[in-house]
Amino acid sequence: MEKEPSIRFEGYTDEWKQCSLSEIAGKVSEKNADLQYLETFTNSAEKGIISQQDYFDHAVSNLESIISYYVVHDDDFVYNPRISATAPVGPINRNKLGRSGVMSPLYTVFSLHGIAPAYLEWYFKSVYWHRYMYLNGNTGARYDRFSISDKMFFQMPIPTPDIEEQKLIAHHFEQLNALISLHQSNYDKMVATRKSMLDKLFPQGDAKEPAIRFEGFTGYWEKKPLSAIVIPYSDPVEVPHDGYERLGIRSHGKGVFHEYVEAGKEITTARLHRVAAHNFIVNITFAWEHAVAVTSDSDAGKLVSHRFPQFSMADGIYDQFLKYLILDTRFRHHLLLSSPGGAGRNRVLKIPEMLEYEMMIPDIEEQKQIAGYLNSMDELIELCRIRIEKLKNIKAAFLQGMFV
């Protein structure tokens, strides 16, 4: 193995040592025979060690079974052999609940000595130990479980710097995790605020005005059918045979995406339709799944089939306001009712029925105020999401570079 990681703190130059897990840990064999502990834990790849009650919303085990369960004390580690996309050889997590509980014998529980628990916890969040598991175990008879003997498991090599460097590494990751959690909390709050404002900035039920209005705007909103808000738009072109970019619409009101179609893989039809910016567009096959959007400047020039009809804005309608108006759950329900079909996903939207849907519309200046506010909020949410992704990538890079 390498003697030191590629990323180290200043002042630390000693080569790392390697020991087996059995040298720093011992398997826990204490059973809950006297029912001293009644809380059952589970080990989740995403949430770590968590109360079974919290994870499943109910207790899965019973008193008869937990007699034979292993006792898990604070700072004990637990290996869960169940594999998943995020834990291809099963997760190993530390009990940080601050209390003791019990764990099914299907798990391997071990306690530590002579190593910083937080350091080992972060080591097991890296992938360096996976190769050893692959070489010395297998998925067994059950494809969703990893199988490795206790003997081989505890022979796992563990790289160990001196204790002070262990603590520094653990502290570094804990600070990074705290920063990610802070940004995630801010993101969640902004998303919740946006949802609340969407309800309050638009009239609900039979109301003729919203609960919250910007200063200077009064009077009732006007109810109009969609047919009076948008105008059918078409810009047919011949199918290119040298490659082109197509536009698709995500379901559940999640916007559009672009996809390059290589030469020779073009759609087998005589014509396509060129997309224009600031249009209302719908996928008639998946309209019932809320596959609708308003196009932006970056969408202009992309191509779609006849199954993606477009509509330009009528006078007095601001496209950015309509972008939020079509997110309403009542409109989604109307799209579902306007898309008859058989079982499964075989539904096709009837456009005339869709255009009958009535919407509450203020004057265009109020539309611009509402859309501007919501667009600004969406930009902040997106910036926060990007920041979280960058921090997660930084964390992944450190997990790769700070261990061997």
Query: Do 1-14+161-204+365-404 and 222-361 come out as alike in CATH topology?
Result: no
- How high is the pLDDT of residue 1? 58
Listed residue (348, 347, 281) closest to 310, CA to CA? 281
369-396 pLDDT per residue, tens: 999 999 999 999 999 999 999 999 999 9
Nearest 10 degrees: Cα torsion 293, 295, 296, 299: 120
Strand residues in 46-165 grouped as ranges (E): 48-51, 70-72, 77-79, 92-94, 101-103, 108-112, 157-160
How high is the mean pLDDT of the chain?
94
CA atoms within 13 A on the CB side of 90: 25
Q: What is the CATH number of domain 1-14+161-204+365-404?
A: 1.10.287.1120
**222-361: what fold?**
Adenine-n6-DNA-methyltransferase TaqI; Chain A, domain 2 (3.90.220)
Predicted confidence at residue 265, as pLDDT, reads 82
Could you tell me where the DSSP H helices lie in 10-149? 21-24, 52-56, 63-66, 117-123, 130-136
* Residue 354 parent element (H or E): helix 351-354
- Length of the chain in residues, anyone? 404
Predicted TM-score of the model (pTM): 0.84
Whole-number Å distance between alpha carbons of 285 and 349: 6
Query: Which residue, chain included where needed, has tokens 């290996």?
Result: 79
Angle at 234 between CA 229 and CA 239, to 5 degrees: 150
* SS3 labels along 15-39: CCEEEEHHHHEEECCCECCCCCCCC
Q: Which amino acid is at 327?
A: L
State the DSSP string of 234-299: --EEEPPSS-EEEEEE-STT--EEEEEEPTT---SSSEEEE--TT-EEE-TTTGGGT-EEE--GGG
User: Exposed, middle or buried: residue 352 (CB in 10 Å: 0-12, 13-18, 19+)?
Assistant: exposed
Mention every residue, 6+ apart, whose C-beta is less than 8 A from residue 97.
41, 49, 50, 51, 74
Residue-level pLDDT at 3: 79
Element housing 322 (H / E)? helix 319-325
What's the pLDDT tens digit per position in 196-241?
A: 999 999 999 899 999 999 999 999 999 999 999 999 999 999 999 8
- Contact, 137 vs 89, CB < 8 A? yes
List the one residue out of 226, 246, 348 whose CA is nearest residue 291: 348
pLDDT computed for residue 233 by the predictor: 98
Angle between helix axes 364-401 and 163-200 (nearest 10 degrees) is 170
- Rounded percentage of the chain residues whose pLDDT exceeds 70: 97
Question: Could you count the other beta carbons within 10 Å of the beta carbon of residue 122?
Answer: 23
Domain ranges of the chain: 1-14+161-204+365-404, 17-160, 222-361
User: For the stretch 233-267, what's the b/e string if a residue is b when 16 or more beta carbons lie within 10 angstroms of its beta carbon?
Assistant: beeeeeeeeeebebbebbeebeebeeeebeeeebe
| C-alpha 257, offset from chain centre | 18
Joined tokens for residue 321: 């306001």
Residue 269: predicted pLDDT: 76
356's tokens? 């009958």
Please tell me the predicted confidence (pLDDT) of residue 300: 97
What homologous superfamily is domain 17-160 in, according to CATH?
Answer: DNA methylase specificity domains (3.90.220.20)
What string of pLDDT tens digits covers the 404 residues of the chain? 567 899 999 999 999 999 999 999 999 999 998 899 999 999 999 999 999 888 887 666 777 788 999 999 999 999 999 999 999 999 999 999 999 999 999 999 999 999 999 999 999 999 999 999 999 998 765 678 999 999 999 999 999 999 999 999 999 999 999 999 999 999 999 999 999 999 999 999 899 999 999 999 999 999 999 999 999 999 999 999 899 999 999 999 999 999 999 988 877 777 999 999 999 999 999 999 999 999 999 999 999 999 999 999 999 999 999 999 999 999 999 999 999 976 566 789 999 999 999 999 999 999 999 999 999 999 999 999 999 999 999 999 999 999 99
